[in-house]
Structure formats: structure tokens, C-alpha cells
Structure 1
Amino acid sequence: FFFLLITKGLPSSRAAEVLARDGPNALTPPKSTPEIIKFLKQMVGGFSILLWIGAILCWIAFGIQYLHHDAGAFNNLYLGVVLALVVVLTGCLLIIKKLKRALVLRDAEKKDISAEELVVGDIVEIKGGDRIPADIRIITSQGCKVDNSSLTGESEPQSRSCEYTHENPLETKNIAFYSTTCLEGTATGMVINTGDNTIIGRIASLASGVGNEKTPIAIEIEHFVHIVAAVAISIGVVFFIISVSMKYTVMKAIIFLIGIIVANVPEGLLATVTVALSLTAKRMAKKNCLVKNLEAVETLGSTSVICSDKTGTLTQNRMTVAHLWFDNEIFSADTSENQTTQTFDQTSGTWTALSRIVALCNRAEFRPGQDSEPIMKRIVVGDASETALLKFSEVVMGNIMDIRKRNRKVTEIPFNSTNKFQLSIHETEDPNDKRFLLVMKGAPERILEKCSTIMINGKEEPLDAERKEAFQTAYMALGGMGERVLGFCHLYLPEEEFPDTYPFDTDSMNFPTSNLCFVGLLSMIDPPRSTVPDAVIKCRSAGIKVIMVTGDHPITAKAIAKSVGIISANSETVEDIAQRLKIPVEQVNRSDARAAVVNGMELKDMTSEQLDDILRNHSEIVFARTSPQQKLIIVEGCQRQDAVVAVTGDGVNDSPALKKADIGIAMGIAGSDAAKNAADMVLLDDNFASIVTGVEEGRLIFDNLKKTIAYTLTKNIAELCPFLIYIMASIPLPIGTITILFIDLGTDIIPSVSLAYEKAESDIMKRKPRHKKKDRLVNQELVTYSYLQIGLLQTIGAFLTYFTVYAQQGWLPHTLLHIRTSWEDPFINDLEDSYGQEWTFDQRQILEYHGYTAFFVSITIEQVADLIIRKTRRNSIFQQGNKVIWVGIFSQIGIAAILCYGLGSVYALNFGCVCVCVCVYEREGGREGGGEREREREISWGCIIRTRTPTLLCSCSNNIFALSTAQLGSHWQGGSERRGTLLHSSFASP
């Protein structure tokens, strides 16, 4: 059966059964809400539920009014439809998913299927460059090597074969793991685990188990929604009760309630916030920050602590050999191709031995076809450390591949984090020496442990205490310069014990790994990125604490931290103070040290209180020799200090920390798929400076959101007061609910979005991070400014326009008080204005729409002024340009003009199309009380102006007065003081 399985693969029917049993070969995503549920939540969450209630009440009111043949019934129908459309359009989402594929053998045929369809028992083929699609047991292999670094952290390629070599699945050679990469060779294997049952699936489940807290901006928006909803409902209910107590019908009271809710809820705000976040995310993508979660944009701006990796993030991940130590002396390395400044004696026997170890105990290779390229610019297959060693060797010694051919490799043990060394055994090029040469490199302390002698000037000498002290001094000196140090040793194997046919076995290690000869040290530097020191300074001025978390030696980590400014030049650690005062470390008061370097071994034994004490009392912290699991502990410790934590990570094991952090940042170049999936943001260039750019953008979006919300809330008072005055003073309604929606969703949308294009003000990176519990998006200052200061001014201006329009038509303010009942009665067609002129219901209705229009235009113009006011907080508007805001202003005015003059005749929109009619009247002579009556009235759109001239100018609204369409010479009769003959009439749009 097994033979048939590996030659023909699973039958499709069996594969379908297993797929149904085990589910798809995909990691279960972190607990997330289905998209349809998200959509439905959007439909009934926050402002949406208020709008739905308003829409339903509108439809109920329409039904009742329609049955009673109420002329205004359709207004409620239109309003309900608009409110429903607002909710639905806000909740629409678009999702695109991409799937991976795998080459599988089924039914004796090779098939290219989706990786999700793989099942246990499938036979899969992999080749160099492929991602391993599941956990597979290797059946056949031809030079297959895999990169397990994303899973285990091991940078060395691991060979894979069908041999069972270890009980631990992570150590055995016959298993390749899901999501790792095949670097070279080919292999065929049987799927043994899929989806969540894979090794990476089990690790990822830990990440998914970590709480997914709400982002700060989500909390702020929810807080804002609660405030607005509470205000809207409270005011609505209060005035509903007042309306009923003032003998209004329940239907009228419900209509008031709807108007108050609509006036209070900024319907377009959440859409504006989403657009603003999207615009910022696009800007950040251009700056190499890919935002996966829109709300993460603002979270980054709230960050108070950044836990950053060292390699590749703070440094360039471009190792270069910097120093060597042999013959008890430290030398600088010259990597230039002309080799004119090499500081050491290349004729030394120790150098000859050391250079041979460096060349042979190295698995890196140049890609072919680069002979014409400078050595330091050639592309290398291998990790960063071995690449640096290979290039250095090539520069100093010449063609390394020839050296390796002349010293054929017999066997090797790749580097791993458990052994912390790499070993290989070679034949030597000396035809007179048949001995095998064992060479080894690795962590200096581990290499020294395996040695009993040391080479000095080409001769072996005992490794006594004095030699060990010299080694330790050199090691600390090189590490103190921020360099990664490797130790090198060798041993010639006795020919009689190890003849040329000897079967070396790396599993049983049937060769010596002790009593070796220590040859020297070689250190490499991974230069800090040039942009990092300035970025760290920016963080410090912005009140952000930068913590380095690395697996390097504490001495090396401290040196790098000082070189990039994470530890200031004048800052001391406890160890520094002890050394300066020449006292034991235990006697130093830890609170006197501004900086701290914490070893992972110490962190392992710390309690939460001890860690909290370090995080609280030290402003400059480095965690060295840490594991990915300890990174999670550090993040949790920072969050216990009420910090908003951003953390970087690249490996699978970093996923829990990335998930736990307020914002997880994965590396785009070196990051694993699991890390990227767990993160909220991906750095496309793996550069720390990009994080600081993101912080600035995050702060900018918070500032711009405050400006947008203040701008949006300002008009709420001007929209709310008409309903309150309408109820309390019984005047004709100044503005309708549909007209309010045209402000919220029409004229105000583009100006609101334009504020998202505002640039950062000068002090944005000089302010401390906002406190997530104290510095709210909507605070008392913003509410006072929007509602009481600017809001009241807008209300006064809008009512002034409203009363002016009515006064121009003959309705002075005192006449409008307590007239609402008669005004809205469709059966009263002889209602007199302040001058005794009679108005029909249709004429009053048209005038009311003109009042709506005037109120609408007034708020629109006032919002233009508010937009300019809100543009900057401190800088002059002339210093801070924003071309988009002019688009907002012109669109605002343009939309208002279209609604008033282009669509003003559409009944459902409740706008009045205003025209100017100029009429000239001849005064009728006469006397009153024995004297000539000299008081005449010039009517300009209904406004009566007393004058002594013998003519009367009438500027009125079309279709309201009969005189506006009267012929020349017609007689106009109003009151006793309003008689005259129309001599001329003309109309024009204003």
C-alpha cells in the first residue's frame, strides 16, 4: 500500500474524505467577526441605530399622515429613504482574498491544486524556491535544503533527507515544516499535518489566543458616538415630552424627535473618518509603511513605547568584517580590494591558520557570473555573517572557491542555536600531509570551552589562565564596539585514527570536539542605518521611549544602543556606576542609573514587579540575549505602565508579541508570513526611521480628525436650535430635516475630507504622546468651542437671515410668534402678514421653503469661515498651504448654488428657487386727517421701506404675490396704506 501511495498518490475520493474530516490546509485565522456580521453591526452600531430609528419613525409618520391625506406626508417618506441610504452606504465593504497553490500527486497524476485542499497522506513535490505547503515527511531528496529561520530562528540552511535522525520533530532531518522555504534541491514528501495541526499552526494559535483589544482610535470614536447619541436621545426625549405637554399631537412630537436626532447626528462623519484614515494609509505606503488595519494609523501616533529589534531594523543587516584578534593583538580589517592598509602580518603562521578556517568553515557562495563585479558588491547565497566572512576572505586570500576545491569537505555540522557552533572536516591540499583538518567557528565562549591550547605566532601553547584573561579582554573590547564576535579553532586529526576511508558520522560525532587549538577572534559590524540616530532623537523629543530587544550579547547590544542614541552618551547603567565608583554592583542604587541593560537570563528569573520597576525607573533600556517569548513578557510589562506599545518582529515566534502589542509592526523583507499576518503594519524597508515617520503621520491624523470633528459639530447647534425654537415659540419651521441632510451629506463632506490633507504643524513631534485615558478625541475644550463659541455665532447668523427673509415678505418677527398652528393649517388661505396682506397655504409653503433655503445658505457660508478657522491650531494659514481645502470651499458653494438654483424647483428637496422682481408703483394721492399722506413703502422682496418719493419699488419672490406677474397699470390693493398702480415689472435671478 505504501509503495502504491508514493507512486500514485491518494485517490481523489479518499482525499475528499480526509479533507472533509480534517478541514482545509489553512491556519484558522485569529478569532474574527465574519464580514456579514461586521456589515450588520455597522448597520445597527453607533450612529446607525439612531438613524434607523429615525428612518422607521419617518415611515410610520408617512403612513399615518398619508392615511389622513396630510400634504406634508411625502417629506417624511423622502427623509426615511435618505436616512436608510446613509446607513447602508456607510456599511459597504470590499474584500479580496489571494490563495497559494501546491503540486500534488493524486490518482497517479500530478495536479496543481490550491494549498488549502491538501490533506494528510497527499504526496507533494517541492523544489528550490517553493514554500513548504504543509508539514511533510521526506520520502526522497536530492540536495534539498530548507530555511527554518522563520520557525526556529536558525539562519543556517538545514539539509533534508529521508533519514530519521532525532526524536524531536524540530531536530530530525526527515520532516519539512509548513511555511518554511526550500532553498535548493528537490524533494518528495508525504503530508503528515495540515492547517492548525502543523507546527507553525500550533505556534500561531498562541498568537490568536492573545487578546485583541480595541485600538485607541476605535475607543475614541466609540466614546464620541456615545456622547452624541446620549445628547441626541436626551434632548429628543425631553422635547418630545415638552411637545406633548404643550398640546402638540403625538405625530407632531415624533416629527420633532426625528428632527432633533437628525440635527444632532453628524451623518457624514464616520464616512469622513474612514476616508481620512485611508488617505493617511496611502501616504504611509509611499513612505514604506504598509497599513493593514486602518485604525492602526492613529494608534501609531499614540505610541509611547517602541520595542524594536536590532538586526535589520536599527542596523543595515549588512555585516562587514571590522577587526581580528590573534597573536594577542587586535587588528583592524581592510576590506578594500587594493589591500593597501592591512594592519596585520599576513606571513604569521597564526593568520595562515585563521584565514584557512574562515574560508573553509563557511557555507556561503557567490552566485555565478559575477567575476567582473567588485567583490564587496557581489551577490552571495548565505546569511549576513557568512557573507561578510566570504567577502573578506576573497579580498584578502583570493579565489575562495579554488581553496575549497583543494581542501575538499568531508562532512559538516551546520550552526544551530543549541550548539552555537559550526564544524566541518576537510582533506588538506598538502600532498605530504594525509591528515584530516577539523575546523570550527561559533560563539567565542563556546569555542574556547572546547580548546586546551591556543596558537601564538604559529605555535600551539597551553591555554592557561593568563591566556584566557587576554581572550576575555579582547572579547569585551570587540563586543564593546558593537561588533558581533566569532571564535575560530582547529585540530589536525591523527592519520592513524582517522585514515582516508574513515566513515565520519555527524549524528554519533565519532570524531573529537574537545582539546582543540584556539586560533583567534574575528568581529563583524552591522552598521547602524544612517537615519536611525535622528529618528531616535525625534522619538525622544516626542516623549517616546525606545527599547531595544535583541538576541545579541549585552556588551554588543549596549554598544549599538549607544551608537544610535537609544542610550545617551552621558547615561550610565548600574554596571557603569559600579565601575566608576569601584564598588560591587549590589551596592549601587538602581534608581541612580538612567539606563539599563537587562540580560535575558536575568529576565527569565524576574517577577512582574521587578520588571515593572525597571520599566518605570529607567528611561533608556536594552534587553539582550532575549528570546521571542520574552518579547511578549516585555510588551505586557510596558502595557502595565499604561503605555501604548509598538513592537517590531520578523519570526513566527514573534507573533504573540506582535498580536499583544497595541500595534504590531512586521518586517517586509525579513519577516515571516506568520509575523506579517499577526501585525497591524508592515515596514516595507525594515527601517526603524519608517516607524518614526508613521508616528508623525499617526499624530497628524489625530490632529486632523479633531479638526474634522470640530468642524462637523459646529453646525449642530445651528441645526438643532430651529427645532427647539419651533417647539417653544411656535414659529414656522426655520429649516427642514431633509435640508439638514443636504448640509451633512452634501455641502460639508468634501470640506471635511479636505482637512485630512492638512500638513503637520511645527510642534507635532515636540508634544508628549497623548494619554489614551485623558487626552480624548472629543474633549470639553472641543465641545465648548464647537457648540458654544462658533456654534452659537452660526445660530445667530442663520436666524438673522431667516427673520430677514420673512420680514422682506411682510412677516415681521413679532408676527411669527405663536403662529405655527395657523401657518400649517392647509384650510386657512387668508392668513394676514404684518401689513394685512392675505396668504394662502400654498404661498406660505413656498415662503417656508425659501426660509429653509436662506437658513441653509447661511450655515453653508458660515461653515466656509469655520473651515478656514479650523485649518490650523497655531500656524498662520498663510504658512501652511492646503490646495485641497480650496476644492472643499468651492465645492461647498457650488453644491449650495446647484441645490438652490438648479434643483430649487424640485418639491421633494424643500428648496425655494429665489428670483428678484423689481416693480415700480405710482403713489396714490390722498390725505389722512387733513394732511397729505407722505408715507410710501418700497418693497424689495417684501421689505417695506418708508420713503417720500412718489414711486414704490417692489422686489419680490416669484409666484408669491399676484403683483409679481401683474401687467403694467394693474391695480394693487393691500391695506389702507398699500394702494398704488404698477407701472413696470421686471424679473432677474440674483
Structure 2
Amino acid sequence: MEDHKISLDQLSRKYGTDLTRGLTNTRASEILAEEGPNALTPPPITPEWVKFCRQLFGGFSILLWIGAILCFLAYGIQVALDDEPSNDNLYLGIVLAGVVIITGCFSYYQEAKSSRIMDSFKNMVPQVRHCVDPMPIIELRFEMSRLRLSSSPRHVLLSSPMRTHWRQKTLLSFPPTVGRTPISMEIEHFIHIITGVAVFLGVSFFVLSLILGYTWLEAVIFLIGIIVANVPEGLLATVTVCLTLTAKRMARKNCLVKNLEAVETLGSTSTICSDKTGTLTQNRMTVAHMWFDNEIHEADTTEDQSGAAFDKTSPTWAALAHIAALCNRAVFKAGQENISISKRETAGDASESALLKCIELSSGSVKHIREKNPKLNEIPFNSTNKYQLSIHTQEDLSDQRHLLVMKGAPERILDRCSRILIHGKEEPLEEDMKEAFQNAYLELGGLGERVLGFCHQYLSETDYPRGYKFDTDTVNFPTSELCFVGLMSMIDPPRAAVPDAVGKCRSAGIKVIMVTGDHPITAKAIAKGVGIISEGNETIEDLAQRLNIPIEHVNPRDAKACVIHGAELKDMSREHLDEILGNHTEIVFARTSPQQKLIIVEGCQRQGAIVAVTGDGVNDSPALKKADIGVAMGISGSDVSKQAADMILLDDNFASIVTGVEEGRLIFDNLKKSIAYTLTSNIPEITPFLLFIIANIPLPLGTVTILCIDLGTDMVPAISLAYEAPESDIMKRQPRNPRTDKLVNEKLISISYGQIGMIQALGGFFTYFVILAENGFLPSRLINIRLDWDDRSTNDLVDSYGQEWTYEQRKIVEFTCHTAFFVSIVVVQWADLLICKTRRNSIFQQGMKNKIMIFGLFEETALAAFLSYCPGMDIALRMYPLKLSWWFCAIPYSLLIFVYDEIRKFILRHNPGGWIERETYY
């Protein structure tokens, strides 16, 4: 771009504008049509049809589609070969295809519903502000300090945002490829495990069936049954529901989650990089102390100025107050004349608002001071220079000199001064006064107060006469050799909930790192105040001071705490930063820039940490996007930072992040419990097919009946676990390691399949054998009876007592067994649901406060009864009414599951780290 090199006339002609009046309405409309609105283009969204296809053909659905296709294929072959083919495979294929379509539609609906909820969350954060007060526009100026710019010119806008430098910020914040979240990888890992198990068992028993002499068509039907039994059809929809519920719950706690999967990522967090102002503190600054005339004075913030006294007649104080009033953009909002000064609302930065109120209380109307000393030009504060400067005419008409005033980081201000004001007289800035300055600075900073330095300079009327054009671009006025006036320090009290929240993080094994622009002394004091640096832990400087040895002689590994200056970080090697992050548990980064936050996040991630980072400015957006979980501020955050973040804090409160961590851990716990509950019933669903193949007994459980369990009776109880309250140790565990602590691990498989599932299968088979025995078929008679049992031409099959059974009679008994086996699974799932409420605690500790779970217990029982006794179910689903006594067959096994797991958890709690925990704590 060469536009900055051409003349203003050429520039106005090129862009069709007038440098005085601006664009005409017609030209503005033309540019709007060509360039688009003055807004950042949001990241691309996935088309709805793609989302729907993912639900229809992704995850477990592909296995069910394979099963449906095999059913249709088997039915087609039967039609070709048999005169009177059975319609069972046709019906099963239709049911499987219907299940995939229905669950796909349900999952898509849940995802769309979740997206709408996320969009509603975004709408809770205002995106546009409207100014409704008409006023004349004279030399329009933009407040751009939030965007880290320094100048205040009249603008000729050359491009819309997506063709400007900020486009690069946006591209950096929204890269084309975004890393997958831990929970998405966990779900994928889980799908791979279950798919692998289903395919392995299905193929294994397909081959075994052929070896045992079954026809290949019968072997295909076995394969379908085993696949259907292995696939938890409703589980992925359950996961979406769980995440949505948690996101809504977090929204009520001032945490807006933009990405559902980010909920669990926050729960995996092992490091939090937090801003200080407004996040750890209240962002309600109050002037606490001043240093002038080489003395520290306590500020008087009482309305009647009856508090701490200091010499307000001092000319040095008058000069300090003058600078604080003029070099200040904060103003009182209109219509508050009858409200006490300390309670008035202000528009402006928190530090400047504190100065405004202090000067208003002690020196009178700041508005009048500013009116008498009109501002001619200024350089706003920015994070590079760390100072703010303005130039004014004086109220004394006899004094034609201009007054330059400056405030900013004390060390930066002092570096620009060669003189100091003492009792109203300028004196050379000697070493003794520099030492006095340093001692005062350290003392005030050590109190946890934000310290600002102030200086001024009366400009020679010869060099800078009235009417002189001060140019802040070329800086045609002095910014050094100034006169230092004093310091003012402000206290920003920590939020009340922050020390407790930091303590929770420490108990949960989460490292909290403070990243601030404040001086290291102030940052360290605040860090100690909120518990980031815990009592008794020392930095290298503390150790050197206590041992009275040079800092170079201190072993850095002896210091648990560490305070790093941004200047050190700027020149620090990767290896050195990694060493600091690895060796120190309590770290504060002070005097840092937003760009350095990205370096800190990358360093933490190299340590293997799951990093959450807070940010509010435009330049924070790359760090927010780079972090595993970016947290933007809802009150003070810029739009770009909110777009880049995964979560927005409506109250800008650090404690809300910790609430989010707890909710994230809870959702991972509850998903584990839901999966454990759902997978357990796979064993009593699979084993009937295995015995059917191996022992040649009549089929104990039908494929359609399995679908009634997975998509009927198990759905509501599985979802109800999302409402389960956290266990007492949830914030006392170390953070989850995504590489080793999987959502589905070998321990969960062992508990679900190898222990509880086996007991459930025993309960189902006990009921099956009881019903067949009551009908005359003892267990010994059932072995190798299948061929005769399923033979349509055999209508005189003899039972254990010599009774003859027709094919139709046998099938009614078989379908009754399917129904009873189904009901037995429901009965043992009662106990499974109760034991899945906790992973470590006893159910008697946890209690039965989950009303959704209680409803789930009644719902699955009522649904089982409905399917068993509703007229017409014998035709629709081949389910027949049961005797009441058959419901009680599985109850002993249900009680056994409950007692067994309570004993396991009792041993686990009383022998932490023992064999039981190592092998069964999933």
C-alpha cells in the first residue's frame, strides 16, 4: 500500500471523499455495497446438511447401516431360495435403518438445539453500542488505546476490516485448522474401542458359526445380532444432552460456553494463566497513598475530608493534583450531582476514575480545572510506551507558557526526568532522590498497590508560543528532561471469592499463573494476597535477602515461587522459560505485554499442560486461540477477544473460571458414569447370542428386544446421570491427563463387561431357564435342541416331561423368554444405575437427591411393563405378557450387584492406592 506517500489532495480524489465534510451518502452507499459492512467476518460455519450427514453416517451409525444392509441382503437371498421366506430379516433391517434415521435426527436436533443455545449465549454479550445524544462533531477523535494505538488523527478509512491489519489478527485468531478438544478425541477413542470389539466378536463368531456347521446365511444373522448388541445406539445423543445441560448450568453461573466440547476441556485444565486487573481483583481502584516532597502520605477518601491529613497547601501537592486532573480521560457520567463523589459512576479507565474521584474530593471540581486548562493535544497510554501525555494552555493569562503533563509507569516517568519538585521548587534529580523514589516505590508496591508516576514541564513561550501546532506523530515537543512531581498509588481489592478459588485450584492440582502489566513488586504483593504465592514460599530474591547473599548464588530450584519481568521474558530462550515453568509451582509474570502472553501459553503447553488463559484485548486473541481453553471477559473484553475465546465470563471473575473447572470435571465424571451404565447391559445382550451359537439352545434374547433396551429403557437413566451432583473429592484430585486417563479405559471395561455385566447376564439366564423349566424344558434338554426348535416342520418336539410342542407353541415360549430376559436386564439395571451414581463414594454418602434419576428408575420400569403387557406387542415386537413372579427372578442378582459394588468402594476408600483402586477405579 502506497497511500501514505501521496498528497492529501490525491488521497481525497482517489477515494472520492472530502477531507473536511467526509463521504456523501451516495458514495458511502456505493462503498458499502462494494466492501461490505464495517465488521469482522465471522469464521466459516459448517453447512446444516453436512452436520445432518455426520449424524446419519458417523460414529456407530455406520455399523448399524452395515447390519441393516446385511439384513436386506439376507432377506433377498431367502426370497430367492425359499418358497415361504421368513420376514424377520426384512423387519429387522427396516428397524435398524429406522433406528439409525431416528437417532440421527434426534442427535441432529440436539446439536441444532445446542447451537441455538450457544447463539443465545452470544446474544447475552452486547455487540453494538448506540449513542443517542446528538452533538456537534468538531475534530472527531477516536479512543483507540484499547487497540494499542497511540495517535488521535482525523481518519480517511481506506479499507473495511477484513482488508486491514486487523484481518491478520482475525486470521491468527481463527486459523483454518483448529485442534480437536480432549472430549472429541475421547469420544472418537471410545467409538474405535466399541467398534473394534463389535467387529472382532462379530467376525469371530461368524467364522465359528461356519466351523460349527451353520449356513453362511445363519452366520450372517448371528453377525448382525452381535453388532447390534455391542453398539450403544443412544449413547452419542446422551453425550450431547449431557454437554448441553452442563453448558446451560454454567450459564447460570456467569460462564457462557461458546463450544459445547470446551466444557470438558476446562475440566481437564492443569494450568490457568490469569490476568490480574478485573479478574483477580475488583477493578475498583481507590487512591490509597501519595509520595511527594519525599514523604509518603495516606490519601483522604472521605466525603468531608475528615480522614487522614496531609498538607494540601503544599505547592507540590497542587502540582501533583493538577497533573492527575489534566492527564486523565475519565469523566463523571451526567446527572449525578446529588450523589456522593465516591459513589458516582464514571466513564473511563479504573485507574483514571480513581484519580478523578481523589482530586474531586481533595481539590474541588476537576471539570473546572480542565475548562481553565484546555487540552491542545495528547498521546494516549499504550502498552509499549507505558505513559500518557497531554499539553494544555494555562488558566493564568499572564503566563503564556504551555503546560506538558505526563503520567505512567513510575520507572518510565523517572527515566524522562532530570529534575524533581520539592516543596514547590525544582531541584536536580540526584542519586539520593532516586534512591528515595525507589524506596517509596517498593514500599507502595509491596502493599499491593498500583503505582503511577507524575511529571510536568512548562514549555518555553519562545519555542512554543500560543498557537503552536503540537504534532504527536512527529513529537515536536520535549518528552525528556522533565520535572518529576510525585507518585500516587491505588489499591484494587481482590475479589472476595478469589483466595478460596485459588485454594481450590491448588487442592485440585491446578497451577495458577498471574500475567499482569503491573510492576513486579505490586504483582507479587497481589499474588500473595490472593494466594497465588502461598504463605511461606519464597522467590529467588526473597531467599537472597534472607540469606544475605547475592542472587547469583541462590539455586533457582530452592525457590518455589518466581516473579518474571516482561523485559526478562523478551530475551529469554525457550529452554530457560521451560526450566522456569517446570521448576517453579507459583509463578507471576509482571510488566508483560499481550503478545508475551502467547509465549507463556506456548511454554506451558510444551510442559504438557492443558492451558486455560484469560484475555480482554484485541492483542490477547492469538493467546486465547492458542490456549486449550480461551476465556474472554464479558464486561471489559473486546469483540475480537470474545470471538477468539471458547468461554466468556459475564462477571469477569476468576472464581467463575474455577466454577467452570469443577463443572468440566463433573461432566467428565458423569459421562464416565453414563458410559459405564450403558456398556454394562452389553454383556447380557451379547451372551445370549454366544450361547445360542455354541450350546445350540433356543435364542434367549431377540435383536429387536435389544434395541428396546438401548433406545428405550436405558436412555432416560443414562441421561439422568448428567444431573448427578459432584462427589466430595472432585476438586481434590489431580487434573486428568488426556494421554493416559481416557473416558473409556481398561478399568471401566473390566467393571462393565467383566464384573457387573457378568452378574447381569447370570440374572437374565436364570430367568430364561426358570421360564423354560416351568414350561417343561429343563436346562439339560435345551443343549443342542436349536435345530429342532427352529424347524418349522417339527410340530411334535418332546420336552423333559414327554409333552409335545408345535412350532408355534415353541415360538410363543421363546418370545416370552425374550420378554423375560429383557425385563431381567431392566431389573439388574436398577442396581447398575444406583452404583453408577458414584465412582468412589458410597451411595449412602451421595444420597438420592437426583430427581431425574428417580424418574428414570420409574420410567424404565413403566416402559418395560408397557412393552410386556400392552395389547398388540406380541405382533409388533414379539413381546408377550409375563407372570408377576418372573419379574422377581433377577432381583437377587440386582441386590448382589449393589452389595458387591458397595464393598468394592468401601475397600477403595479405606485403602487408597491399593490393588482394588489400581484395578477397578475407572
Residue 761 of structure 1 deviates from its aligned partner by 1.0
* Letter of the structure 2 residue corresponding to residue 894 of structure 1: A
Alpha-carbon RMSD: 2.8
CA distance in 1, matches of 2:871, 2:249: 38
Whether the aligned pair in 2 keeps the contact of 1:78 and 1:908 (CA below 8 Å) is: no
CA distance in 1, matches of 2:553, 2:228: 68
Q: 1:622 aligns with which of 588, 603, 626?
A: 588
User: 2:65 corresponds to which residue?
Assistant: 52
Alpha-carbon distance in 2 for matches of 1:776, 1:638: 22
Post-superposition offset of 1:361: 2.1
**Counterpart for residue 82 of structure 1:** 98
**Secondary structure in structure 1 of the residue aligned to 2:188:** helix
CA contact (8 A) 1:478 1:485 kept: yes
Partners of 2:764 and 2:210 in 1: how far apart?
27
- CA 1:301 to 1:903, structure 2 compared with 1: closer, same or farther past 3 Å? farther
Q: Secondary structure at the match of 2:612?
A: strand
Matched, 1:887 2:855: yes
Q: What SS class does the counterpart of residue 560 from structure 1 fall into?
A: helix
Cα–Cα, structure 1 residues 496 and 615, in superposed 2: closer, same or farther, change >3 Å? Answer: closer
Alignment partner, residue 658 of structure 1:
624
SS of equivalent to 1:768: coil
Q: Work out the CA distance in 1 between the residues paired with 2:871 and 2:146.
A: 62
User: 1:361 corresponds to which residue?
Assistant: 327
For 2:214, the aligned partner's letter is: Y
Query: Which of 754, 762, 767 is matched with 2:720 structurally?
Result: 754
- The residue aligned with 2:314 is 348
Deviations 1:528-565 (A, max 9, x none): 11111111111001111001112222222111111111
1:571 and 1:211 mapped to 2: Cα distance? 42
Give per-residue Cα distances to partners, 1:440-471, cap 9 Å, x unaligned: 22222232233332121222222111111111
Return the index of the structure with the highest Cα Rg: 1
Q: Give the counterpart of 1:339 among 289, 305, 308.
A: 305
Instruction: Give the TM-score of the pair, scaled to structure 2.
Output: 0.88
Contact 2:55 2:105 in 1 (8 A): no
Q: Is the 8 A contact 2:683 2:757 kept in 1?
A: yes
Question: Which residue does 1:577 correspond to in 2?
Answer: 543
Q: Which residue of 2 aligns with 1:913?
A: 881
Q: Distance in 1 between matches of 2:644 and 2:129?
A: 26
Listed as ranges, the matches of 1:840-859 within 5 Å are 840-859=806-825
Greater length-normalized contact order (CA 8 Å, ≥ 6 residues apart): 2
Deviation per residue, 1:189-217 (Å, 9 max, x gap): x5x32353222211121233386222222
Given the superposition, is the C-alpha separation of residues 374 and 888 from structure 1 closer, same or farther in structure 2, using an over 3 Å criterion?
A: same
50, 53, 60: which is aligned to 1:40?
A: 53
Query: Aligned pair 1:148/2:144, yes or no?
Result: yes
Residue aligning to 2:178: 212
Q: Is the 8 A contact 1:904 1:913 kept in 2?
A: no
- Equivalent residues in 2 for 1:691-840 (5 A)? 691-840=657-806
Question: Any gaps of 5 or more consecutive residues in structure 1?
Answer: 100-114, 116-124, 131-139, 162-173, 176-189, 918-939, 944-990
Q: Which amino acid aligns with 2:659?
A: T
Amino acid of the structure 2 residue aligned with 1:7: T
Q: What is the alpha-carbon distance in structure 2 between the residues aligned to residue 303 and residue 281 of structure 1? A: 17
User: Residue 10 and residue 346 in structure 1: after superposition, are their counterparts in 2 closer, same or farther (change >3 A)?
Assistant: closer
Contact 2:456–2:485 (Cα < 8 Å) also in 1: yes
Aligned length, in residue pairs = 853
Deviates more, 1:671-680 or 1:67-76: 67-76
Instruction: Single out whichever of 500-509 and 292-301 deviates more from structure 2.
Output: 500-509
Kept in 1, the 8 Å contact 2:56–2:100? The answer is no
1:865 matches 2:881: no
> Aligned equivalents of 2:520 and 2:500: distance in 1?
23
Asked whether 1:280 is paired with 2:246, we answer yes
Larger helix proportion of the pair:
2
Distance 1:761 1:193 in 2: 55
Higher mean alpha-carbon deviation, 602-611 vs 500-509, is at 500-509
Deviation per CA, 1:147-173: give whole Å up to 9, x if none. 434432x6x8x6441xxxxxxxxxxxx
- The residue type equivalent to 1:330 in the other structure is I
What is aligned with 1:408? 374
2:635 aligns with 669
My pick for the range that moved more, 830-839 or 783-792, is 830-839
- Aligned amino acid, residue 71 of structure 1: S
Partner of 1:311: 277
Q: Residue by residue, what CA displacement relative to the aligned partner does 1:96-118 show, whole Å, maximum 9, x if unpaired?
A: 5989xxxxxxxxxxxxxxx9xxx
Q: Distance in 2 between the 1:13 and 1:594 partners?
A: 62
Query: Aligned pair in 2 of structure 1 residues 916, 714: CA closer, same or farther (>3 Å)?
Result: closer
Equivalent AA in structure 2 for residue 758 of structure 1: E
Identity %, equivalent residues:
61
Alpha carbons of structure 1 residues 160 and 14: separation in structure 2 relative to 1, 3 Å:
closer
Is residue 648–residue 664 contact of structure 1 (8 Å, CA) maintained in 2?
yes
Task: Report which stretch shifted further, 659-668 or 7-16.
Answer: 7-16
More off after superposition, 591-600 vs 827-836: 827-836
Shift of 1:367: 1.3
Whichever residue aligns with residue 627 of structure 1, its letter is S
Contact kept? 1:196, 1:205, Cα under 8 Å: no
Whether 1:221 and 2:187 are equivalent positions in the alignment is: yes
Cα distance, 1:24–1:736 mapped onto 2, change above 3 Å: farther
Structure 1 residue 898 and structure 2 residue 873: aligned?
no
Q: Residue by residue, what CA displacement relative to the aligned partner does 1:861-883 show, whole Å, maximum 9, x if unpaired?
A: 11011111222233343443222
Q: Deviations over 1:489-509 (max 9, x none)?
A: 223344555554444444454
SS of equivalent to 1:767? coil
Query: Within 2, Cα distance between the matches of 1:500 and 1:911?
Result: 100
CA contact (8 A) 1:441 1:486 kept: yes
> Contact between 2:383 and 2:593, CA under 8 Å: does it hold in 1?
no
Summarize the Cα distance change of 1:460–1:10 in structure 2 as closer, same or farther, 3 Å threshold.
Answer: closer
SS in 1 for 2:490: strand
Q: Which whole-Å CA distance do the structure 1 matches of 2:77 and 2:468 have between them? A: 101
Provide, for residues 666-702 of structure 1, a one-character-per-residue CA deviation record: whole Å limited to 9, x for no partner: 1111112221222111111111101111111111111
Provide the rounded CA distance (Å) in 2 between the counterparts of 1:783 and 1:581. Answer: 55
Answer whether contact 1:262 1:737 (CA < 8 A) is retained. yes
Deviation at 1:71, TM superposition (A): 2.8
Matches within 5 A, 1:47-446: 47-67=60-80, 68=82, 69-73=84-88, 74-92=90-108, 93-94=111-112, 128=131, 142-152=138-148, 159-161=152-154, 174=155, 192-194=158-160, 196-209=162-175, 212-430=178-396, 433-446=399-412
Look up the equivalent residue of 2:244 and give its one-letter code: S
SS of alignment partner, residue 769 of structure 1 = coil
What SS does the corresponding residue of 1:461 show, helix, strand or coil?
strand
1:546 alignment partner in structure 2? 512
Alpha-carbon spacing, 1:474–1:896, altered in 2? closer, same or farther (3 Å):
same
Q: In 2, Cα distance between the equivalents of 1:904 and 1:849?
A: 14
Q: Which amino acid aligns with 1:525?
A: I
Q: TM-score by structure 1 length?
A: 0.82
Q: Which residue of 2 aligns with 1:9?
A: 26
Q: Is the 8 A contact 1:288 1:685 kept in 2?
A: yes
Measured after TM superposition, the shift of residue 141 of structure 1 is 6.1
- AA in 2 matched with 1:89: C
Residues 212 and 660, structure 1, Cα contact 8 Å, conserved in 2: no
For the residue of structure 2 that corresponds to 1:313, the secondary structure is coil
Amino acid at match of 1:540: R
**For 1:126 and 1:299, how far apart are their aligned partners in 2?**
32
Q: Equivalents in 2 of 1:127, 1:875: separation in Å?
A: 54
The amino acid that maps onto 2:98 is V
How far apart are 1:128 and its partner, in Å? 4.5
**Which stretch shifts more, 868-877 or 538-547?**
868-877
Report if the CA contact (8 A) 1:482-1:525 is conserved: yes
Distance 1:46 1:146, change over 3 A: same
